[in-house]
Structure 1
């Protein structure tokens, strides 16, 4: 599992005083930086590999300014060229949101998917989601 701690900003709150629902997709993406580094180590967008094809976000509890959040990211499934992540967001040790996201390893120049290399696949296996996590 990958763990990321983020500090909510005042600008991310909404009129009713909690973190705006549009903020969570950005936070979840920020927690994926270790995965982006696996696929594109130099972060060169001309050689970027991961493209998102699906995401499903479930809101469970409200999130507030003033307390850090923790995002936990697991690898749920690994296909030939795709991978599915499962993510949870916690504040004060309370589960506040869940997300699943599917990425495809994609060659921008060729405009087609590519198999996930064995070296990356091996690292991803170290972060597998277990139902009892």
Structure 2
């Protein structure tokens, strides 16, 4: 599991007084940086490998400005060319949001998916649920 700590910003707070729902997927993506690094160690977009296919987000509790949030990211499953992540967002030690993201190992030059290399598969497995 990966943990990413985020300090909510005023600009992410909406008129209802909680963090806007459009912010949460961005925070979940921030929790995926170590996974992106597995596939593209130099983070160059010319060599980018992780292409998102699907996301889902379930809002369990409101999230507020002024209190740190923790994004937790696990690898839920690994296929031949794709993998599924399970993510949670916690504030004050409570689960507030959960979701899933599906990524494919994609070669931008050939515009085709490719098998996940063995060394990356092993790293992903180390963070499995």
Q: TM-score, normalised by structure 2?
A: 0.99
- In structure 1, how many angstroms separate the alpha carbons of the residues matched to 2:2 and 2:116? 19
- In structure 2, how many angstroms separate the alpha carbons of the residues matched to 1:16 and 1:57? 19
- In structure 2, how many angstroms separate the alpha carbons of the residues matched to 1:108 and 1:16? 41
- In structure 1, how many angstroms separate the alpha carbons of the residues matched to 2:125 and 2:30? 21
1:16 positional shift:
1.1
Unaligned runs of 5+ in 2: none
> What's the counterpart of residue 79 of structure 1?
79
1:50 positional shift:
0.3
Please tell me the root mean square deviation across aligned C-alpha atoms, in Å: 0.4
Structure 1 runs (4+) greater than 4 angstroms displaced: none
Unaligned runs of 5+ in 1: none
- In structure 1, how many angstroms separate the alpha carbons of the residues matched to 2:40 and 2:120? 11
- In structure 1, how many angstroms separate the alpha carbons of the residues matched to 2:109 and 2:11? 37
1:5 positional shift:
0.5
- In structure 2, how many angstroms separate the alpha carbons of the residues matched to 1:78 and 1:31? 18
Alignment of 1:20-39 (within 5 A): 20-39=20-39
User: 3-state DSSP class of the match of 1:17?
Assistant: coil
Alignment of 1:96-111 (within 5 A): 96-111=96-111
1:86 positional shift:
0.2
> What's the counterpart of residue 3 of structure 2?
3
1:69 positional shift:
0.2
Q: TM-score, normalised by structure 1?
A: 0.96
